[in-house]
Amino acid sequence: MDPTVPNPAAAGLPGALIFAGDGPGRIGGKRFMLTDLNNISPRFGFAWQLTPKTVIRGGYGIMFAPLIGQDLNRQGFNTNVSIASTDGGLSPVFQIDRGWPEGRVLPPPFIDPTIANGTAISMIEKRRGGSGSMPRTQQWQMNVQRTLGGILLDGSYVATIGHGVTTGSAVQRNQLTPDRLALGALLQRNIADATVVAQGFRRPYPSFNGTLAQALRLFPQYQGVNVLDAPVGNSTYHAFLFKAERRFANGLQFLVSYAYSKTLTDVAFNGGDLTAPQDTYNRRAEKSVANTDVPNRLVLSYGYDLPFGKTGRWRWALGGWNVAGIQTYARGVPLRITVPNSLPIFNGHLRPNRVGGVPIRIGPGFGSFEPLNALSGQAGDLFLDRNAFATPQPFTFGNLGVFLPDVRGFSSRSEDLSLVKKFRLREKLSTELRADFFNAFNRRNLNDPVTDLTNPNFGRINGSGAARTIQLGWRMDF
């Protein structure tokens, strides 16, 4: 959709479809976006050997990420053809070798600028800094490495700052401006309603038939209008990373890594968590911790060939054993409190209000927390206090952030272990028996609580992660 082209079916109001290619009704070209020619990516790095066993490294660079690659609107270039049987399928609808019945198929293209009227549509901002601009990140790090008794110790500070992160839902051109909320319930009345007419409102074009809210939209001939690949998102990531690594020696290898980090953003890092903003005209209010933010994470991975049984009479039974494991411990992810969106201004979502003086987190800690049990009817403990939140008054926005900044779900703990026994049968023939234990200690990793404020089970936890799984295997090498 081009916001400057007159729409013939809407009395010439701006906003109509345009079509690529040459010929009548087309733009005379194949490009809707301008080519971004400003992607200069300087890089800088250094390494300094402070002592024979200590190295300091650092670097800075500007990188550009690829576009999301969303498909453009294909309206006018495709068609659907369907024919139903008139006698319940007793006789054929048509003979395939004879082709479609005459007059039933209208082949595209349909070059009609009004073909999308009454539907949701996407548009492209064809300007410098608009759709097609590449997301830009600045990345820098400082790293210190030292070897100590065959073990590599590594400590790093890492940062990534993103600007112009592209999104297909953050910019909603057809949302009403927030001042229109002052009209209250009048927005939901038909444009022809006597009360609406008495307030001086008229149809935006003669054939319009809808609510006052629809009539007041920037493009009343359309429903939602989102900007494709809008480069408006921002993010910041800062982390301290620590690592201890031992390469395989004397039958032992291990890697221990710990990350202490924080991620802030005003766009979702996966599409399922957020729709459009609560108010597209106040995107600053969308900034919060990211939905993927995990501030503490410890991972241990190791493998050890047991040292006994390498020689002697019983080496076939005592030798060839190996134990390995991956253990992960991570803090919980942020929680998002939701309420139904009742605002008639076509915004993306509505957030609740925070009630001051009421603690959000209640109930016992992880060890004694009892989740909801639907089979036994046990209600379980509460994790969140419903009284800490309130549904906003009609025709007002909520003041709560996108994600809670200081309350998260329970942390997760997982240990995956393996026990392997290898047998050498001949020079070129060996076999291996193994047992793998996933969640070996049968940790009870509880799910996040219900965060829908209208749900009767709000604040309760209704499940947990997978229980311990044991897998046995046998392998022959020849």
pLDDT confidence bin for 270, thresholds 50/70/90:
low
Contact 363, 382 (CB under 8 A): yes
Residues 6+ apart with CB under 8 A from 316: 423
The neighbour count for residue 92, using CB atoms within 10 Å, is 8
Q: What is the pLDDT of residue 189?
A: 95
| Res 448 pLDDT > 80 | yes
Residue 185, φ and ψ in degrees, nearest 5: -65, -15
Q: Does 178 or 273 have the greater pLDDT score?
A: 178
**160-178 residue pLDDT tens:** 999 988 887 888 999 999 9
Lowest mean pLDDT among 77-81, 191-195, 335-339, 464-468: 77-81
Share of the chain above pLDDT 90, in %: 62
| Greatest extent of the chain over all pairs of C-alpha atoms, in Å | 103
Parallel/antiparallel/unpaired status of strands 252-265 and 225-227: unpaired
Query: What does the angle CA 49 – CA 52 – CA 54 come to, to the nearest 5 degrees?
Result: 55
Q: What is the pLDDT of residue 133?
A: 85
What's the rounded Cα separation, in Å, for the pair 121 and 147? Answer: 59
Q: Is 173 exposed, middle or buried (0-12, 13-18, 19+ CB in 10 A)?
A: buried
Q: Which region holds residue 19: left if phi is over 0, alpha if psi is between -120 and 50, else beta?
A: beta
Q: What is the mean pLDDT of residues 326-345?
A: 95
Residues 6+ apart with CB under 8 A from 375: none
Peptide linkage before 42 cis (omega within 30 of 0): no
Q: What is the pLDDT of residue 309?
A: 65
What's the rounded Cα separation, in Å, for the pair 235 and 269? Answer: 10
What's the rounded Cα separation, in Å, for the pair 4 and 454? Answer: 42
Q: Considering the entire predicted model, what is its pTM?
A: 0.84
